[in-house]
Amino acid sequence: MGITVSPFANFFVRQDFEDAPDELDAADVAHANWNARVADNSGSADSAASSAPKAASSAAAPKAVASAASTDAANMSVSNAGLDLVKNKEHRELTAYQDGAGVPTIGYGHTGQVNGKPIIPGKTTITPAQADQLLQEDLAPAEAAVRRDVTVPITQGQFDALTDFAYNAGAGSLHHSALLRKLNRRD
């Protein structure tokens, strides 16, 4: 599945699902596309999440073009809309639980310690303010990865979507992704 970086509201336009690189699957593209739509307020989460893959087009795919709204990622931080994106997707839990992989988790997907102590499912609790603080701390490495790895101008919504991608998949996954290579090549 090839993806095209678009100068329009949708950051990732899904095209040509037959030639997908191994390191990027349909779920990655759909996830990033949904994130960009929500972060840019250019479409509803329902319409983005339910949109079916588009057939390959015979026309040449549009190339990314720096616009007035684009800026150097090295100078960007997650916006309030980006924070809301993560918060809405992660669903805040104030009492610790085990996630699907069995990892003790609390807040908006925090898996480290809380107040210097291990997270104990069913016992560790936090306040809403602590959940927000943990999220800010947990997003910092993802933001740093986007600042370091993106070499082309991007919009705030794109920065937010890429940060969410790095937060969920890991900075290494972003660094080694076809998504990042194509973005930086303006493919």
Cα–Cα distance measured from residue 128 to residue 70, given in angstroms and rounded to the nearest whole number: 33
Q: Which of 90, 138, 149, 160 is catalytic?
A: 90
DSSP 26-71: HHHHHHHHHHHHHHHTSS-HHHHHHPPPPPPPSSPPPPP---TT-B
Q: Which of 23, 72, 99, 137 is catalytic?
A: 99
- Say if residues 160 and 78 touch (Cβ distance below 8 Å): yes
Cα–Cα distance measured from residue 92 to residue 107, given in angstroms and rounded to the nearest whole number: 5
Catalytic residue check, 93? no
Q: How far is CA 49 from the centre of its chain?
A: 14
Residue at token pair 């026309």: 59
Q: Give me the residues paired with residue 98 across strands.
A: 104
Catalytic residue check, 23? no
Q: Which residues are catalytic?
A: 90, 99
